Amino acid sequence: MLQVLKILIFVILLSGRSTLQQSSTQCGVKKPVRNYMIFGGSDTKPGDWPWHTALFCKKGQSMTYCCGGTLISPQFVLTAAHCIINPATGYEFLPELIAVRLGIYDLNDLSTQQKCDILRIYTPGEFTSQGTKNDIAILELKKLAQLNNYVQPACLGIYSSLTGHYGTVVGWGMTKGYKLSSKLKSARMPVVKPSTCISSNRDAFGQNLDETMLCAGYTNGTSVCNGDSGGGLFFQIGSAWYLGGIVSFAPKSDDGMNRCRADSYAAFTSVVAYLTWILEKTKLTLTSPQPTQSPSTVTNFSGDCGPGCRDFNCHIDKRCASNVVHRTAVHYAHRDCRKYYTCKERTNIICELDCPAGLHFNRNRQVCDWPWSAGCDSS
Query: Are the CB atoms for 229 and 210 separated by under 8 Å?
Result: no
* Catalytic-labelled residue, pool 48, 135, 228, 369: 135
Q: Is 82 a catalytic residue?
A: yes
Neighbours of 172 (CB within 10 A): 26
Q: Up-side HSE of residue 333: CA atoms within 13 Å toward CB?
A: 22
C-alpha distances in angstroms, 207 versus 194, 204, 210, 263, 269? 12, 7, 8, 20, 15
Q: Read out DSSP for 151-175? A: B-PPB----S--TTBEEEEEE--B-
CA–CA gap between residue 212 and residue 215 (Å, rounded): 10
CA–CA gap between residue 324 and residue 336 (Å, rounded): 24
Of 39, 13, 294, residue with least CA distance to 167:
294
Q: Is 229 a catalytic residue?
A: yes
Check residue 316 and report its DSSP letter.
E
The torsion angles phi and psi of 263, rounded to 5 degrees, stand at: -105, 35
Check residue 203 and report its DSSP letter.
H
Question: What does the CA dihedral 261, 243, 45, 12 come to, rounded to 10 degrees?
Answer: -60
CA–CA gap between residue 72 and residue 75 (Å, rounded): 8
Q: Is 135 a catalytic residue?
A: yes
* Catalytic-labelled residue, pool 52, 82, 165, 360: 82
* Catalytic-labelled residue, pool 223, 229, 248, 288: 229
Catalytic residues: 82, 135, 229
